[in-house]
Amino acid sequence: MTITAGGAARTQSNPAGPPAVGVVEATRRPITESSEFLGRIEAINRVNVVARVTAFLERRVFEEGAEIKTGDELYRLERGPFEADLASKQAQVAQLQATLENAKLTTERARTLLGGPAGQQSTYDAAIANQRSLEAQVQAAQAQARASQINLDYALISAPIAGKIGRTAVTEGNVVGPSSGVLTTIVSQDPMYVIFPVSVRQGLELRERYGPQGGLEAVVIRLRLPTAACTANPAS
């Protein structure tokens, strides 16, 4: 302690010693090089559902946002006009087939008469031509009936793929058709793509880094999601 001229006492502190330090031995440890890229998940299949015939929309069968399977019924269109058209085309086919059967009998009689005095080649040739014409008409009528059946089948709209279905764009009572746009969208859920952009420069750096080590065989790709993390196949 030091006493000053005024009688006040002043304490001198001893000088501090050297600070304590720790010593850690340096060791070699493997370091895993990694690169991070922001990506997005995309569905493999995505289908926009549209109407292939023009008709009134009678009923929406599916629930918006639900998981559906391939072939599930989605919409029902008015079937009455298509059923009537198909019945008319089928009746026309039946009528032409009956006429064709009669023409075949006429052709056979004309062929039989060729060997007698009443037979004429011109009559037989005309019968043959008429029969072939009716055969062509029957084929055309059958094709029209098949087209009518196809249109009738289109009145029932089904899911072409499995996945999650979105919101419907058209409600019951509206007229829909090929020009009315997308009715709804189906997005497949499993499997899905994970797409992440890599610049050309980074791609070249990764190739130089992992190429001598086996390329993709030396790389483990991990997906870090907001809720969990998973490991993907390096080839995927």
Tens digit of each residue's pLDDT (9 = 90 or more) over 203-236: 888 888 877 777 777 777 777 777 754 545 544 3
- Contact criterion met (CB below 8 Å) for 95 and 82: no
Integer Cα distance of 198 and 175 in angstroms: 47
86 Cβ contact list (under 8 Å, min separation 6): 145, 148, 149, 151, 152
- In angstroms, the first-to-last Cα distance of the chain is 80
pLDDT (tens digit, 9 = 90+) per residue, 101-154?
A: 999 998 888 888 776 665 688 888 888 999 999 999 999 999 999 999 999 999
Integer Cα distance of 206 and 215 in angstroms: 9
Nearest to 225 by CA among 38, 34, 43, 46: 38
13 Cβ contact list (under 8 Å, min separation 6): none
- Contact criterion met (CB below 8 Å) for 45 and 159: no
pLDDT (tens digit, 9 = 90+) per residue, 74-104?
A: 999 999 999 999 999 999 999 999 999 999 9
What domains are defined for the chain?
46-78+155-188 (2.40.50.100), 79-154 (1.10.287)
DSSP 236: -
